[in-house]
Structure 1
Amino acid sequence: MRLALFMPSDTPFYRGLFGSLQKAFERHGFTVRGRCGFLEGKRLNDFIAEYSPNVFFEMNRCKAEIDGFPEKITHVSWLVDLSGRKLEAIRGSELVCFFSSEWMADYLPEKGCKSLWLPPASDPDNYFPVSIPKTFESVFVGHIPKPWDQKLLERPICFRNSAAATFRDVVETFETRWGEQDTIVNNDRYLQEVELWLESRGRGETLHDDATLRYDIGCRIIRTARRKYFLDWLLRNESVEPMAIFGGENWKLWDDYARLYGGELGTPTELNEAFNRSKTVIHEGVGPHFRVFDAMLSGVPVVVRKSVQDREFGGLGTMAAEGEEYIALDVGQDRGLLSELLRHPETLRRIGENGRNKALAQHTWYHRLSETSEEIKKRG
């Protein structure tokens, strides 16, 4: 079968992911063509005419969002970022694959559409142990939004009365609360929580239905709050320094993290080296992430925040063994645990090796795309 593979844009991250997915799909018997960057209009039609694909697999775009897409071609939408869209807007595709199990649980597919869970995985050709000196106790790899500026904070958020509430009110009411929570839900649930809060104020107001506002509330506040909360907890309670944070330059705009900023890593080679230069790799947890499995394949112990959802469907605890293949810290009672582990290199080495073996056995992109590939082939 001929599969067209498309990433949203041409960035180092998407280029690396494209190559890994292409290899995995080819191992599953597909002939793969595509690119980083969506096609529209004549360019899309020319591609279809030249390549005659049986199926399109696109990240973060659904069939209903493509003008004139041929009905006869199966479309698979892999939703990693809703970008402010409501779940109900994800329509048209014959298969909808969800990065988040919470999104999948709340999604109501159309007739003829099937939803699958497609969480992150990694590529053993890109991530593996390297014998180099350990220069960090810990590293964190990921992005963070900019601090909210005055213009964003003073935005009206209500549909009818612009003076009823501002975005600042939402940040001050919910950011700390959401950061402390050790559970995650579908983005729409956070928006519903804000709607209920507005209703409780007794002014008959509803949230303005704006995609940017939805994204800021349902994603950017959550990402900022969770990453800040866990990093701040680690810096207060554990011996995680020398520590490096790698990601976009927004980190330099945060006073507490600018001194730890190590730059942006553009390629899997750079990421793998950064992991291998550290004794541990940190992620805020509460749901698996690309970098969790990348780090596991590098053979470095992964440290995440413990969550009550870890052993529920979609939780990291159902994909790897806590304490044996990764480290989970309960922020309520595990102060000092990571500091103690960092004094025992053999224990860390064993956890890192176990994590790598688990990722090799179950969490490569070849493994992850098995169910999706089977479903595509069923549809011809």
Structure 2
Amino acid sequence: MEITLNEVKRREKGLKIINQKIKNDGVDSLIDLTGLAGGFDLTPEDISLLETYAGPAVFDEKIQELGREHLGGEKILPLNRTTSGIVGMIIALVKPGTKIVHYLAKKPGHPSIPRTAKLVGADYVEYTNLDDFKIDDNTSLVVITGTTMDLEVISVDDFKTVIDQAKAKNIPVFVDDASGARIRRAVYDQPRAIDLGADLSVTSTDKLMEGPRGGLMAGSTELIDQIKLVVNQYGLEGQAPLVAGMIKGLEKYSPDRIKEAFKQKDELYQKLQDKGLNPQTTPTGFMFKEDEIKNEVDKRTSTGDVSADVVATVYSMLLIDNYNIITIPAVGMPGASKTVRIDWSAKDSEKLSMDELVDAIVDTFDKVASVFSSDSVEQVLYE
């Protein structure tokens, strides 16, 4: 997806709305249902260690212990973002003129993968069907996405098949397990990626856990050291404040909230159906893809030739403005999926009932229709 300046400006508007909500009613008035709430649950003792050398000296030992428990592997590499790990890993392991092959449940994969492939001069191809999947002789890296951005999960059998093919050709396997390290394990009882035979795995420390937005990579000491060298050269490593937050997030993490949301999602889905809506279910809630939002609004009024991405962003903006409910399209990084995804496992779900959420979802469709009827889209997105 091409990132545009308009996306940047829309995100600025979304954050401006949130800032005003905080000024008026306090941060606790916000209801973050993205599943990406993150957090820095630091103690005064932690803060006293947030220095250039003291922090890394103390925090590295703990993040190694907790990271290995969460992801497996011999060594852990904290990163300032999951994307940073992907970039550093590809620069370290992929040679110009070779190929990266990627298997996932549904396209597209994370955009940082093809972008970095292009950066190093490598070819890149994605597969969603094992019958089509192939590893050429010039392949230098095999990538697996355990769980897609819309929380679609591949099976353990598919995992093993791809890994076995890569091992037969002695090609390293990297697993993008951004949310999968929680969803796959908590809901589907799948093993850790490293335990399935992957050489490297990375996860996001804010997805479905109360940690800061950062990345954590696991693998063999040899591979992690190669990647760490590149990461340090490019300034992609996780700094002490971030690592301290990761430690707290890992210490607090429990799969119980995810498992409970998985049990409750059918009840939530039924309430939406009773209101005439038909979202897609996810393991921990539901989602409306961009086209689905546009189609639903078009039942009320015409959105014309306005793109589905823009309609979804208007919806997300109004959901914040009127109900304090945060979803990705209005505040996600430019280039992120514009799917409106509600994660019922999010801590803030405790702030409202299912019925209150459903009423907000339905009413916001009506409000989006009013915006398009009054031709005030620009005002909602930018002013």
The reply to whether TM is greater than 0.5 is no
- The structure, 1 or 2, with the larger RCO (C-alpha pairs under 8 Å, 6+ apart) is 2
TM-score (structure 1 length as normaliser): 0.28
TM-score (structure 2 length as normaliser): 0.28
